[in-house]
Amino acid sequence: MMRLRPSHNKRNIVFGFLFICFFHQIPAEIVNFSGYYQSDFSIYTAPWITLENLDLLNYPLTGIADENCRLKFSFNPLDWLSLNVAYQIGLTFEDPSSVLSLFFGESESRYRLIDFNKKLFPASSAAETNARLLHNLDRLNLLLYTEIAEINIGRQAISWGAARFVNPTDILTYSSFMEMETEEKAGVDAFRIRIPIGFMQEIDTGIVFGESFLWEKTACFLRSKFYFWESDWTFLSMKFFNSLLFGFDFTKALGSSLIWLETAFVLTDVLKSGYTFGNMDYIRISVGFDYNIAGALYSFIEYHFNSGGCEKAEDYDDYMTSSLYNEGSIDLLARHYLNVGFNYDISSVMSLSAGVLVNMNDFSFSVLPIFKHNIEENIYFSLGASINVGIAPVLDIYSVPPIVMNSEFGSYPSTVFCSIKFYF
């Protein structure tokens, strides 16, 4: 093993000491380090699978442990300039034969010019190991503040939409309804300009780069936000892959209630030759409201419609391989959904929430309860579950794929999870 000479070690120690002392003397408003450490443990159970109606197969309980650390750094040398960096590294322990973690991954982005291999260990994808070490440079952006605009260049989070559960216009990053870590949206590589034009009003435009500046993998958008009739109105036009999206959302407070509407109309592959209007085009709509029942108890209801979704469970497999589903960052398979739930603040440091998402086409459903406790300052504990109920899939060796879905949520694993997060 090659070792550094003593002089090199001393030089590195001195450099590190001077580096720490230098930043220690800089005011926090100029240089700021922050982040969090999160420890998660989950237990999964896969659905029962009928084998040609003769036998039942069931996977044993599977546990997954995740240890994640997210480091944030911001440098603000001038009033009009800011550099922001976020780096995340995580260690996952899981049975190498299990594929259940694929259902519960964090949000992902396909809009990055270049990215390093996220897997640090094992080096080979074929290696059989219970541990995986992953890392992600999730933010690296430069913010410029001018008299008329805010300019953001680099890897950043871009998210929008008024709906509380399913956002038809928020398609730049993919996230699952079963995703457990929702605090951070995956970063995309973009050049973005936001121009304020009045009270709670702005023009927002940008280009979101795909791999190697390829036009078919790049998105661009123009978004305008207005405030009138004591309501927020947003209009969006976007090009993504070879498709066009035209969206709109609206929110308004009515007494103890808040109502919202969000919709997106997508012309699928309209920029390709041979496009036929209406062939694969679709519209998605989310509409709902929440209501303060009493004190700290809130309820909500949201209906979601996707004209491109399936009416029958036997069509789910084909839909999951289509460009509608994958390029549009859609994670639900059917046409009609209803999400109903509540949130209750037990105290200033504890809350309980629960929701039921119902597939109104095959009548499968998912129950999502979660309890949160702020144990101490900057220490948070969560305990929750994702309980999926529906007709189990069938294993048919003569079918492609061999597992045939009979319902959406009946085909997904259920899980119970706990998490503790330390902010610093």
Whether the per-residue pLDDT at 329 is higher than 60: the answer is yes
For residue 2, being part of any structural domain is answered with: no
Q: What is the DSSP string of 180-225?
A: S--SSPPPEEEEEEEEEEETTEEEEEEEE--GGG-GGG-EEEEEEE
Distances from the Cα of 415 to the Cαs of 1, 40, 131, 257, 391, in angstroms?
45, 12, 20, 32, 17
- CB count, 10 Å around CB of 85? 16
Residue 15 lies in a domain: no
Would 285 be classed as within a structural domain?
yes
CA–CA distance, 332 with 403 (Å, rounded to integer): 18
Residue 415 belongs to some domain of the structure: yes
Contacts of 9 (CB under 8 A, 6+ apart): none
53-68 pLDDT tens trace: 444 455 567 788 999 9
Cα first-last separation, the chain: 37
Residue reference for tokens 């190991």: 129
Range of the domain at 417: 29-423
At 373, is the pLDDT very low, low, confident or very high (cuts 50, 70, 90)?
A: very high
Instruction: Write down the pTM of the prediction.
Output: 0.86
Task: Decide which of 51 and 177 is more confident.
Answer: 177
Q: How many domains does the chain have?
A: 1
Would you say residue 283 lies in a domain?
yes
Query: pLDDT tens digits, residue range 298-326?
Result: 999 999 999 999 999 989 988 888 877 88
Closest CA relative to residue 129, chosen from 137, 119, 138, 117? 119
At 6, the pLDDT band (50, 70, 90 cuts) reads: very low
The number of residues making up the chain comes to 424
Q: Is residue 344 part of a domain?
A: yes
* Assigned domain for 256 exists: yes
Is residue 170 a part of any domain in this protein?
A: yes
For residue 47, pLDDT over 50 is answered with yes
Q: What is the pLDDT of residue 5?
A: 46
Lowest-confidence region among 20-34, 66-80, 165-179: 20-34
Confidence at residue 255, expressed as pLDDT on a 0 to 100 scale: 87
Confidence of residue 4 (pLDDT cuts 50, 70, 90): very low
Q: What's 128's domain CATH number?
A: 2.40.160.10
Q: Encode burial over 393-423: b for 16+ CB neighbours within 10 A, e otherwise.
A: bbbeeeeeeeebbbbbbbbbbbbbbebbbee
Highest mean pLDDT: which of 44-48, 102-106, 143-147?
143-147
CB 265 within 8 A of CB 280: no
* pLDDT per position as a tens digit, 118-174: 888 887 665 667 888 999 999 999 999 999 999 999 999 999 999 999 999 999 987
List pLDDT tens digits, range 79-97.
Answer: 999 999 999 999 998 876 6
Six-digit token string for 64: 């997954």
∠ Cα 38 176 333 (to 5°)? 165
